[in-house]
Chain A
Amino acid sequence: MSAGDLVIDVRNVTKKFGARTVVNHIAMQVRPGEIYGFLGPNGSGKTTFLRMLCGLLKPDGGEGSCLGLDFRTQSAEIKKRVGYMTQRFSFYEDLSIEENLDFIARIYGVPERKAAVEKSLERLGMVERRRQLAGTLSGGWKQRLALSACLIHEPQLLLLDEPTAGVDPKARREFWDEIHQLAAGGLTVLITTHYMDEAERCHRLAYIAYGNLLASGAVADVVKAAALTTWEVTGTNLATLAEKIRKLPGVEQVVAFGTALHVSGRNAAKLRASVGPWMTGEFHWTPIQSGLEDVFISLMDIAEDNFK
Chain B
Amino acid sequence: MKLHEFNWRRFCAVVRKEFIQMRRDRMTFGMMIGVPMIQLILFGYAINSDPKHLPTAVFSADNSIFARSLVWGMRNSSYFDITREPKNEAEINTLLAQNTVQFAVTIPVDFSRKLLRGEKPDLLLEADATDPTAVGYAIAAMNSLTPTVLNRDLIGPLAKLNGSAPPFNLVVQQHYNPENITQYNIVPGLMGVMLTMTMVMITALAITRERERGTMENLLSTPVRPGEVLIGKIVPYIAVGYIQVTLILLAAKFLFDVPMVGSLPLLVAMTFLFIVANLAVGITFSTVAKNQLQAMQMAFFFFLPSLLLSGYMFPFRGMPVWAQNVGECLPLTHFLRVVRGILLKGNGIVEIAPDLWPIVLFLLVMLIIGVKRYRQTLD
Q: Judging by beta carbons under 8 Å apart, are B215 and A90 in contact?
A: yes
- A278 contacts B by Cβ under 8 Å: no
Q: Judging by beta carbons under 8 Å apart, are B215 and A91 in contact?
A: yes
B205-226 interface bits toward A, Cβ cutoff 8 Å, 1 = contact, 0 = none? 0000000011101111111100
Query: Are A76 and B223 also in contact (CB < 8 A) when A86-B218, A90-B218, A91-B218 are?
Result: yes
B249-277 interface bits toward A, Cβ cutoff 8 Å, 1 = contact, 0 = none? 00000000000000000000000000000
Q: Judging by beta carbons under 8 Å apart, are B214 and A79 in contact?
A: no
A82 to chain B, nearest CB (A): 8
Distance of A16 Cα from B306 Cα, bound (Å): 41
Q: How many residues of B contact A (CB 8 A)?
A: 13
A69 to chain B, nearest CB (A): 13
- B379 contacts A by Cβ under 8 Å: yes
Most chain B C-beta atoms within 10 Å of own C-beta, residue among A58, A84, A88, A90: A90
Query: Are A108 and B218 also in contact (CB < 8 A) when A57-B379, A58-B379, A93-B213 are?
Result: no
- A80 contacts B by Cβ under 8 Å: yes
- A239 contacts B by Cβ under 8 Å: no
B218 to chain A, nearest CB (A): 4
A56-108: which residues lie under 8 A (CB-CB) from chain B? 56-58, 76, 79-80, 82, 84, 86, 88-93, 104, 107-108
Chain B residues near A117 (CB-CB < 8 A): none
Q: Judging by beta carbons under 8 Å apart, are A104 and B213 in contact?
A: no
Q: Judging by beta carbons under 8 Å apart, are B223 and A90 in contact?
A: no
Distance of A79 Cα from B224 Cα, bound (Å): 9
Q: Judging by beta carbons under 8 Å apart, are A56 and B223 in contact?
A: no
Looking at chain A's contact residues, is the secondary structure mostly helix, strand, loop, or mixed? Answer: loop
Q: Judging by beta carbons under 8 Å apart, are A104 and B222 in contact?
A: yes
Q: Judging by beta carbons under 8 Å apart, are B214 and A90 in contact?
A: yes
B64 to chain A, nearest CB (A): 75
Q: Judging by beta carbons under 8 Å apart, are B220 and A108 in contact?
A: no
- A54 contacts B by Cβ under 8 Å: yes
Chain B residues near A79 (CB-CB < 8 A): 221-223
Distance of A168 Cα from B334 Cα, bound (Å): 59
Distance of A234 Cα from B328 Cα, bound (Å): 82
Q: Judging by beta carbons under 8 Å apart, are A108 and B215 in contact?
A: no
> Which of A82, A90, A107, A109 lies in contact with B217, CB distance below 8 A?
A90
A104 to chain B, nearest CB (A): 7
Distance of A108 Cα from B213 Cα, bound (Å): 21
B54-113: which residues lie under 8 A (CB-CB) from chain A? none
Question: Nearest CB to that of A54 among chain B residues?
Answer: B221
> Which of B213, B218, B378 lies in contact with A84, CB distance below 8 A?
B218
Chain B residues near A104 (CB-CB < 8 A): 222
Q: Judging by beta carbons under 8 Å apart, are B214 and A86 in contact?
A: yes
Question: Nearest CB to that of B215 among chain A residues?
Answer: A90
Distance of A92 Cα from B213 Cα, bound (Å): 9
Q: Judging by beta carbons under 8 Å apart, are B224 and A107 in contact?
A: yes
A149 to chain B, nearest CB (A): 9
Distance of A107 Cα from B221 Cα, bound (Å): 11
Distance of A104 Cα from B223 Cα, bound (Å): 10
Question: Nearest CB to that of B225 among chain A residues?
Answer: A76
Question: Nearest CB to that of B229 among chain A residues?
Answer: A107
B267 to chain A, nearest CB (A): 35
Distance of A51 Cα from B221 Cα, bound (Å): 8
Chain B residues near A89 (CB-CB < 8 A): 214
Chain B residues near A108 (CB-CB < 8 A): 222-223
Chain A residues near B214 (CB-CB < 8 A): 86, 88-90
B97-131 interface bits toward A, Cβ cutoff 8 Å, 1 = contact, 0 = none? 00000000000000000000000000000000000
Distance of A92 Cα from B218 Cα, bound (Å): 10
Chain A residues near B221 (CB-CB < 8 A): 51, 54-56, 79, 82, 84, 86
Distance of A62 Cα from B215 Cα, bound (Å): 28
A154 to chain B, nearest CB (A): 14
Distance of A108 Cα from B228 Cα, bound (Å): 13
B95 to chain A, nearest CB (A): 53
Q: Judging by beta carbons under 8 Å apart, are A80 and B215 in contact?
A: no
B231 to chain A, nearest CB (A): 14
B171 to chain A, nearest CB (A): 63
Distance of A107 Cα from B213 Cα, bound (Å): 19
Chain A residues near B218 (CB-CB < 8 A): 84, 86, 90-91
5 additional A-B pairs beyond A54-B221, A90-B217, beta carbons within 8 Å, are A56-B221, A82-B221, A86-B217, A88-B214, A93-B213
Q: Provide 24 A-B residue pairs closer than 8 Å at the C-beta atoms, listed in order of the A residue.
A: A51-B217, A51-B221, A55-B221, A56-B378, A57-B379, A79-B222, A79-B223, A80-B223, A82-B221, A84-B218, A84-B221, A86-B214, A86-B217, A86-B221, A89-B214, A90-B213, A90-B214, A90-B217, A90-B218, A91-B215, A91-B218, A107-B222, A108-B222, A108-B223
- Sorted nearest first, the 10 A-B pairs with minimum C-beta distance are A90-B218, A84-B221, A90-B214, A88-B214, A79-B223, A107-B222, A90-B215, A80-B223, A54-B221, A107-B224
